Amino acid sequence: MKRGTMIRLKIKSKSSEFLDYHRIKHVVKTYSDHINFSIFIVNDKKEKELINSKSALWIRNKEDISLKQYEDFFYHISYFSDKPWSILHNKIEGNISYTNLLFIPGTKPFESLHTNRKTQVKLYVKRVLISEKNNNIIPSYLRFVVGIVDSEDLPLNISRETLQNNNIVIRIKKNITKRIIASLNKICNEEKYYVFWNNFGEILKEGLCENNDEEQINILKICKFYSTLNKEKLITLDNYISNMRKNQNEIYYLNGDNLNMLYNNPQIEGFRKRNIPVILLKDHVDNFWVNIIKEYKGIKLKSITNEKIDLDKINKINRDLERKDINNDKNYNMNAKLIYLIKEVLGKRVKDVVISSKLVNSPACISNSEGRMSLRMERVLMNHNQSNTQIAKIFEINPEHPVFKKIKLYINDKNNSNLNKKLINSIFNLSLLIEGESLENPSEFAHTVNEIFSQQIK
């Protein structure tokens, strides 16, 4: 006895492509290849041809699947030519039931850094493909993950529009995210983790900008950073904390465009001299998450471009054994006169002028007031037209630098007042350039520098 149901479809002329033999095979292979019953197509010779595989690799026990089978499936769904870096295969049963077979690639796709790149995990319901991309089954900061999630609880007729707010999808997403981060945490101190971090670390750090506090901390635990501790070796924040100085109670960091600029930034000098570690943040996303996450394990994160950092309280150093104490009355008075002169010359271009404990070999640097965002973040917002006003900076000086010593030497000599003004303006403009800030009048600055050079040559 023949059993079953016959469904007849009337195809409009505009949709005749769906009557094409190869088109039908493609559609069935794409959406129904893994369902557990046979699908046949009758060809022109009235012969039946099986066009689906009837089996789904992910529903089999892990013990029954070889590494090559996993790799072949990875090639099939991702179109990558290399082997996967990591495989995560789980079957979850309980209040919600689903299976996930996920892969982290061994290489970085060239377009992966684009935030509008779609997530690559396919959503199945009872082995029927529902959605290939951007189905809200994983967060965007895990968009480098490829694979499948197969749910037993979602309805087959669920629409793309309802996926985002579906309670089952939300719970699956939360569980999968935890599993991926937990699996990374297990190996974050192993050598192979550096391969992953170099490929996808910048993308993963986008998760630090999410609103979930627990998720943020779990991600931050597995983040790697360059630091002044070791130019070559990446460290975690836990590594940083274990190397903090005895009187240090803050985690210091510096944002910049590249490592070379960060290592040579004048504001690093005092930290390096005192063996106080500084985290070096070179990725674009670093400018944002440091304004969202203010502390780690109860220790505040602080940009070294902020004004109120007294490094001598952590570790006082003798900058020059051959000179007298800079705090004696004579030096104190001369430094006070120097600060007064600098304020007079720079006027509203600076909010304040202070003696810095950060500087050792450089004459000066600029910083922001306590509590404000870092210099780098302020510049990013201005470049994206999110801020129209540039706040006056704090000008931090090293009064024992040869340039300032020369200014102090002739500070009461009216014949040198013009040269002093030029030197002060030049040092301030150089400090702005080092931090990537724009100058009010670049041509005037160039002319002043050329003039000073000419005088020195004479």
Q: Give the CATH number for residue 388.
A: 1.20.120.790
* pLDDT tens readout for residues 103-122: 999 988 766 656 667 788 99
Which residue stretches of 117-212 are H helix?
160-163, 167-186, 193-204
- Region 438-447: what's the mean pLDDT? 86
For residues 396-400, average pLDDT: 93
Query: Taking 60 as the threshold, does the pLDDT of residue 346 lie above it?
Result: yes
SS3 125: strand
Q: What is the pTM of this model?
A: 0.82
pLDDT digit string, tens, across residues 127-160: 888 888 778 899 999 999 999 999 999 998 887 7
Q: Are 298 and 265 in contact (CB under 8 A)?
A: no
- Same domain (yes/no): 417, 346: yes
More confidently predicted of 122 and 329: 122
81 with 32, same domain? Answer: no
Q: What is the CATH number of the domain that holds 94?
A: 3.30.230.80
Domain closes at, from 7, 26, 50: 50
**What's the CA gap between 277 and 270, in Å, rounded?**
10
The pair of three-digit structure tokens given for residue 186, joined into one six-digit string: 């297990």
The Cα–Cα gap between 141 and 173 comes to 12
| The predicted structure's pLDDT at residue 84 | 94
Residue range of the domain that includes 333:
329-457
In a domain, 400, yes or no: yes
Confidence of residue 435 (pLDDT cuts 50, 70, 90): confident
> Do 107 and 41 reside in the same domain of the chain?
no
Examine the domain organization and report whether 22 and 125 are in the same domain. no
Tell whether 91 and 43 lie within a shared domain.
Answer: no
pLDDT, tens digit (0-9, with 9 covering 90-100), for 206-231: 999 987 788 899 999 999 999 998 88
Reference 364, options 324, 423, 409, 321; nearest CA is: 423
Judged against a pLDDT cut of 60, whether residue 458 lies above it is answered with no
Asked whether the predicted pLDDT for residue 248 surpasses 70, the reply is yes
Q: Please tell me whether residues 74 and 46 are part of one structural domain.
A: no
Among 186, 211, 230, residue at a domain's last position = 186
Q: Which is nearest to 222 in space by CA: 195, 204, 209? A: 204
The answer to the question of residue 424 being in a domain is yes
Final residue before a domain boundary, out of 138, 171, 186? 186
Residues 33 and 66 in one domain: no
Residues 174, 129 share a domain: yes
Do 341 and 399 contact (CB within 8 A), yes or no?
Answer: no
Residues 43 and 61 in one domain: no
Give the total number of structural domains in the chain. Answer: 3
448 and 350 in one domain?
yes
Amino acid code (one letter) for 423: L
Q: Would you state the structure tokens that stand for residue 447, as one six-digit string?
A: 């002319």
Asked if 95 and 40 sit in the same domain, the reply is no
**Mean pLDDT score, 364-389:** 72
> Can you give the length of the chain in residues?
458
Taking CA atoms, 41 is separated from 5, 10, 20, 33, 255, in Å, by 16, 17, 11, 13, 61
Q: What is the mean pLDDT of residues 178-195?
A: 94
Q: Is pLDDT above 90 for 329? A: no
Tell me, yes or no, whether 405 and 347 share the same domain: yes
Which two tokens mark 43? 């060809």
| Cβ–Cβ under 8 Å, residues 205 and 283 | yes
Burial of 344 (0-12, 13-18, 19+ CB in 10 A): exposed
In a domain, 152, yes or no: yes
pLDDT at 328 over 70: no
pLDDT at 319 over 60: no
| Distance in angstroms (rounded) separating the CA atoms of residues 309 and 370 | 9
